[in-house]
């Protein structure tokens, strides 16, 4: 093997977002774009000589090409071993587990999560640290700084390795071990959940459908749900990962999973429906005649986690992203445990999990997880739901209604305005931010008194770090909230996200249509921010 040092010129757009660097495939296909970014990552790290690096992704278009490049760069930079999923496949939560299980130095996760794939779709690269979680801002900031001045990268003159063959191969002095992507993850799940009880539930006639959306969770769901738990063959649909996700959009929400939702709303439908996204870290939960919002799902999972063997001793605390509804806060209060509100982005949960301050975390964007890994985990959420249903011997609808009767209901919705002109979106947010100091105490809309209005700043209780400008919050004295922020997961223009929440007490009405219940807040938000007039959009791109 010959180590080559290749001259290059920097790109100005390699600033990682909340989940790594996501761009169109055509951007990543530019000369040295992948090489520059991966070298910038390695240049920002210390002490990895001879260490193990994990690699894998969601199988989207360009995954195979980028992994071969990454393997050669890792070898040239002195890593001792690479663990890579067969075919380049590793779900994001599985990658996190493999990093932790094998005590790796870190890992490269090649994914753009729920974004569309294919030659005209998106691609992404994210670096995860040794705890299995996304790199903190001090590392991503260093990577970006390095990417702006990089003038060379290291690689080798070796041929591609065979990603389809389980076993060990060599790239110069570095060992490359191709592993089964499912085995270690499935073994972990068996330690957390009562597989016997879930298996018995399926044997008694319980029916479910799981839509893998032609994405990475297909192999995991086939192995765990059908092979280990005995769900009938055909329970998992769209279970073969595809470079373009079968031409679909691998985001598990009511727009892209409408057919499954409609099926669950019929008498003929199964008892339970679920889906996961491109890289396996998000989830959709639907019971017969009951869609469970991600915010409610977090609260319900936390309230019932003790029913699963892995959490029978109880949970230490709960953390949620700021835009997620306060439903979980009420659970934490009743259980007498810690509750933390963080910025959006799973990396902000890492310190809390590592310090043992929290056990279960969640984001309103369909991500939930626990301290078993350091990423959100779609299939984990599905299995915990199945464990709860098996233990309580109730339907999803019965479990949800009982929860609301105990804790009250947080009516909640998210309105996404996708691919908005970035300058318009930025000015809209800046102008709303300028209004905030004058809002507290005002009576707005339908007799709503503003309790607070701020741009959320997070103070990490573990390491003392501060993250400012994490989203605009306008809270009212009755517990209602309006939240507005720009998302960091898109690749074109800006995604403007509006979150609306209204609390109904335990003895109140819990059967209202969500959008109708929130209509006064929706109208008020538009009056304050001028979304329709300034973006030219009369309705959101997606409502969840």
CA gap 450, 142 in Å, rounded: 40
CA gap 80, 482 in Å, rounded: 50
Cα Rg of the chain, angstroms: 23
Q: Is the dihedral of CA 508, 511, 516, 522 positive or negative?
A: positive
Cβ contacts of residue 257 below 8 Å, gap of 6+?
A: 211, 213, 275, 284, 286
Catalytically annotated residue among 19, 44, 111, 113: 113
Contact 476, 449 (CB under 8 A): yes
The 8-class DSSP code of residue 368 comes to E
CA gap 461, 212 in Å, rounded: 37
Distance of CA 505 to the CA centre of its chain: 30
CA gap 206, 202 in Å, rounded: 5
CA gap 65, 119 in Å, rounded: 12
Q: At 73, which helix (H) or strand (E)?
A: helix 63-77
Cβ burial of 436 (10 Å; 0-12, 13-18, 19+) is middle
Catalytic residue check, 295: no
CA gap 220, 76 in Å, rounded: 33
Nearest CA to 346 among 318, 327, 367? 367
Q: At 107, which helix (H) or strand (E)?
A: strand 106-110
CA gap 449, 334 in Å, rounded: 27
Nearest CA to 230 among 272, 195, 184, 260? 195
CA gap 203, 94 in Å, rounded: 28
* Tokens found for residue 514: 């969500």
3-state secondary structure of 246: helix
Q: What are phi and psi of 448, to 5 degrees?
A: -100, 125
Nearest CA to 352 among 374, 329, 377? 374
Q: Which residue has the tokens 């306008």?
A: 474
Contact 87, 216 (CB under 8 A): no
Helices 183-192 and 378-392: crossing angle in degrees, nearest 10, is 30
Give the residues across from 54 on adjacent strands.
83, 107
CA gap 442, 275 in Å, rounded: 42
CA gap 344, 324 in Å, rounded: 9
Catalytic site residues? 113
């Amino acid at each position: 093997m010959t180590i080559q040092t290749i001259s290059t010129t920097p790109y100005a757009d390699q600033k990682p977002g909340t989940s790594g660097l996501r761009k169109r495939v055509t951007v990543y296909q530019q000369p040295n774009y992948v090489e520059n970014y991966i070298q910038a990552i390695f240049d920002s790290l210390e002490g990895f000589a001879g260490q193990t690096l994990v690699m894998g992704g969601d199988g989207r278009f360009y995954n195979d090409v980028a992994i071969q490049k990454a393997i050669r760069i890792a070898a040239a930079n002195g890593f001792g071993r690479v663990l890579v999923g067969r075919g380049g496949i590793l779900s994001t939560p599985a990658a996190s587990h493999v990093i932790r299980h094998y005590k790796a130095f870190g890992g490269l996760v090649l994914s753009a999560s729920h974004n569309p794939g294919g030659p005209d779709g998106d691609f992404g690269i994210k670096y995860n640290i040794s705890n299995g979680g996304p790199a903190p801002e001090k590392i991503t900031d260093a990577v970006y700084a390095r990417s702006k001045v990089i003038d060379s990268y290291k690689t080798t003159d070796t041929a591609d390795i065979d990603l389809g063959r389980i076993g060990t191969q060599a790239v110069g002095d570095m060992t490359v071990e191709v592993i089964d992507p499912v085995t270690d993850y499935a073994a972990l799940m068996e330690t957390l959940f009562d597989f016997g009880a879930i298996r018995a539930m399926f044997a008694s006639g319980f029916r479910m459908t799981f839509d893998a959306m032609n994405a990475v969770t297909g192999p995991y769901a086939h192995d765990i749900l059908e092979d280990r738990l005995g769900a009938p063959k055909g329970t998992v649909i769209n279970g073969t990962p595809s470079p373009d996700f079968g031409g679909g959009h691998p985001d598990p929400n009511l727009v892209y999973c409408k057919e499954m939702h409609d099926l669950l709303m019929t008498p003929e439908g199964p008892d339970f429906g679920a889906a996961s996204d491109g890289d396996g870290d998000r989830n959709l939960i639907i019971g017969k005649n009951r869609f469970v919002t991600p915010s409610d799902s977090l609260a319900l999972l936390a309230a019932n986690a003790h029913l699963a063997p892995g959490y029978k001793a109880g949970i230490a605390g709960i953390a949620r992203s700021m835009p997620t509804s306060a439903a979980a806060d009420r659970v934490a209060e009743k259980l007498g445990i810690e509750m933390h509100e963080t910025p959006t982005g799973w990396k902000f949960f890492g310190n809390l999990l590592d310090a043992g301050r929290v056990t279960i975390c969640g984001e309103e964007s369909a991500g939930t997880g626990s301290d078993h890994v350091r990423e959100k985990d779609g299939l984990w959420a599905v299995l915990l739901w199945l464990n709860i249903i098996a233990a309580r011997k109730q339907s999803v609808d019965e479990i949800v209604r009982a929860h609301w009767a105990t804790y009250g209901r947080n009516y909640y919705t998210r309105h996404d305005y996708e691919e908005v002109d970035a300058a318009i979106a930025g000015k809209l947010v800046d102008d709303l931010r300028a209004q905030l100091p004058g809002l507290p105490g005002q009576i707005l809309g339908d007799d709503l008194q503003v309790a607070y209005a701020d741009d959320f700043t997070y103070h990490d209780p573990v390491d003392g770090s501060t993250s400012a400008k994490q989203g605009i919050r306008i809270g009212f004295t009755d517990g209602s909230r309006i939240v507005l922020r720009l998302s960091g997961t898109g690749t074109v223009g800006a995604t403007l996200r509006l979150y609306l929440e209204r609390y109904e007490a335990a003895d109140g009405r819990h059967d209202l249509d969500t959008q109708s219940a929130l209509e006064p807040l929706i109208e008020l938000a538009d009056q304050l921010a001028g979304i329709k007039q300034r973006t030219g959009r009369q309705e959101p791109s997606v409502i969840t």
